């Protein structure tokens, strides 16, 4: 007997659908999803039912992080009715399959909001300037467990590439001092894009990316950038790579308690703005080649990585076949607090 049904896969590969117990499958990645698309059997009361899963890889991968239920997140300390925000950075790192000159040397970032019902929304930008967004539900492994996770998958580059990650939230006392969010198994796929002005060869076999972050809470008074002092200037922008000669450039700024910024460098075109509600910062600076690249990033408020991290894209040369490079920007207190 064949009957239609619909459901969703959770983060552990457990299939949930109305009127039956969950049927368990192993955790699977995008490649295994493709082989998984087919006919499978499930138990429904005394009747054995079979059906063909009629969906594409993207829909199924998204479903794996969806519909986890509306379990209250009282176990996550600090969660309020208005939601808890997190700042997450994807630091630059060496890749086994991609050379340094063919891979961005800046940091991608994400702004994450966790609501009390377990729903999660993520938005940000990767180190090549590609913006993205994703959403899903937290996976709660057990009652009282302070570690929760969410699996996220989003298509990029007109569905020719992708970004997939599992973010693990842990606010236990043992780890809270260093980080609240860690990313594991993060995969960034950028296809060959012959007409792109940045990294046309891409990394079609995928790049391995780490993720680390902390809770973000705008203080009632004072700047969202931690450890600022009364010094003038009290913060510094540091730029590296992106066709800059080592050790790069530094630019001084003065950040007020209301997050307004005053340029204190000799670069008269330097601009910096900070969004208090998210910790995202952006601006522009003068490159030695005379261009004025824009930069973006996010502020981490806690732990040894407290500061701002992001990327900029150098202006591509006007010569066919040559592409621009992406460098990194760091926003730190000046002097840096111990």
Q: What is the pLDDT of residues 16-70, one digit of tens each?
A: 555 444 444 444 444 444 344 333 333 333 223 333 333 332 332 333 333 333 3
Q: Are residues 271 and 319 in the same domain?
A: yes
pLDDT of residue 19: 46
The stretch 177-203 carries a mean pLDDT of 88
* Residue 286 in this model has a pLDDT that exceeds 90: yes
Q: Which residue has the tokens 């990194």?
A: 328
Which of 216, 248, 271 represents a domain boundary (last residue)?
A: 216
What does pTM read for this prediction?
Answer: 0.78
Whether residue 290 is contained in a domain is answered as yes
Do 208 and 93 belong together in one domain? yes
Question: Which of 44-53, 168-177, 238-247 is the most confident on average?
Answer: 238-247
Verify that 197 and 260 share a domain, yes or no: no
> Is the confidence at residue 258, as pLDDT, over 70?
yes
Residues 248 and 131 in one domain: no
89 and 190 belong to one structural domain? yes
Percent over 90 (pLDDT), the chain: 48
Task: Give yes or no: residues 242 and 311 share one domain.
Answer: yes
- Identify whether 75 is part of a domain: no
Question: The domain containing residue 32 runs over which residues?
Answer: 8-57
- Are residue 35 and residue 99 in the same domain, yes or no? no
More confident residue, 86 or 19: 86
In a domain, 128, yes or no: yes
- 50 Cβ contact list (under 8 Å, min separation 6): 2, 39, 40, 41, 42
146: confidence class by pLDDT, cuts 50, 70, 90: low
The number of distinct structural domains making up the chain is: 3
Averaged confidence pLDDT in the chain: 77
What is the average per-residue pLDDT within 104-112?
A: 96
**Which residue has better confidence, 84 or 20?**
84
Residue 293 has pLDDT above 70, yes or no: yes
Mean pLDDT of 179-195: 88
Q: Is the omega angle on the peptide bond into residue 328 within 30 degrees of 0, that is, cis?
A: no
pLDDT mean over 111-132: 91
Both 50 and 100 in a single domain?
A: no
Asked if the peptide bond before residue 18 counts as cis, ω within 30 degrees of 0, the response is no
Helices (H) and strands (E) in the chain, counts: 3, 21
Report yes or no on 302 lying in a domain.
yes
Both 114 and 206 in one domain: the answer is: yes
User: Is there a single domain that holds both residue 303 and residue 272?
Assistant: yes
pLDDT grade, residue 338 (50/70/90)? very low
Q: According to the model, what pLDDT value does residue 5 have?
A: 53
Residues 240 and 190 in one domain: no
Residue 158's pLDDT is what? 93
User: 43 with 70: CB under 8 angstroms?
Assistant: no
211 plus 95 within the same structural domain? yes
For residue 73, tell me if it sits in a domain.
Answer: no
pLDDT tens profile 25-38 = 444 444 444 344 33
Q: Which residue has the tokens 């630059």?
A: 92
The predicted model gives 239-251 an average pLDDT of 94
Distance CA 31, CA 104 (A): 25
DSSP code, position 265: S
> What is the tens place of the pLDDT at every residue in 1-17?
445 556 655 555 555 55
Q: By mean pLDDT, which of 15-24, 34-43, 161-170, 237-246 is the weakest?
A: 34-43
Residue 65 lies inside a defined structural domain of this protein: no
Higher pLDDT, 145 or 314: 314
Element housing 113 (H / E) = strand 108-114
In our burial notation (b when 16+ CB lie closer than 10 A, e otherwise), range 65-93 reads: bbebeebebebbeebeeebbbbbbbbbbe
Residue 207 covered by a domain: yes
Q: Give the mean model confidence (pLDDT) for residues 156-174.
A: 83
8 Å CB contact between 54 and 6: no
**pLDDT average, residue stretch 315-337:** 82
* pLDDT given for residue 185 in this prediction: 74
């Amino acid at each position: 007997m064949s009957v239609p049904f619909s459901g969703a896969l959770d983060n552990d590969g457990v299939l949930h659908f109305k009127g039956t117990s969950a049927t368990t499958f192993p955790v699977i990645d995008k490649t295994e999803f493709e082989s998984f698309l087919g006919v499978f059997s499930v138990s429904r009361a005394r009747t054995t039912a079979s059906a063909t899963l009629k969906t594409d890889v993207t829909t199924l991968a998204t479903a794996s992080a969806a519909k986890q239920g509306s379990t209250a997140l009282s176990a996550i300390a600090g969660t309020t009715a208005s939601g808890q925000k997190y700042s997450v950075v994807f630091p630059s790192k060496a890749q086994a399959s991609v050379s340094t000159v063919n891979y961005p040397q800046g940091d991608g970032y994400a702004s994450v909001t966790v609501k009390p019902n377990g729903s999660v929304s993520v938005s940000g930008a990767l180190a090549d300037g590609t913006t993205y967004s994703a959403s899903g539900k937290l996976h709660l492994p057990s009652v009282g467990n302070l570690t929760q996770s969410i699996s996220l998958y989003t298509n990029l580059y007109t569905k020719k590439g992708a970004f997939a990650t599992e973010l693990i939230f842990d606010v236990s006392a043992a780890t809270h001092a260093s980080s609240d969010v860690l990313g594991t198994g993060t995969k960034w796929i950028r296809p060959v894009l012959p007409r792109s002005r940045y990294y046309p060869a891409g990394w079609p076999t995928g790049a391995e990316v780490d993720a680390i972050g902390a809770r973000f809470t705008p203080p009632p008074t004072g700047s969202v950038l931690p450890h600022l002092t009364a010094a003038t200037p009290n913060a510094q922008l540091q730029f590296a790579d992106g066709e800059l000669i080592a050790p790069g450039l530094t630019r001084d700024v003065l950040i007020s308690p209301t997050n307004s910024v005053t340029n204190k460098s000799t670069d008269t075109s330097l601009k910096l703005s900070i969004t208090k509600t998210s910790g995202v910062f952006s601006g522009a600076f003068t490159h030695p080649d005379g261009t004025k690249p824009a930069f973006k990033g996010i502020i981490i408020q806690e732990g040894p990585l407290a500061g701002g991290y992001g990327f900029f894209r150098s202006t591509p040369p006007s010569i066919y076949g040559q592409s621009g490079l992406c460098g990194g920007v760091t926003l730190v207190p000046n002097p840096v607090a111990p």
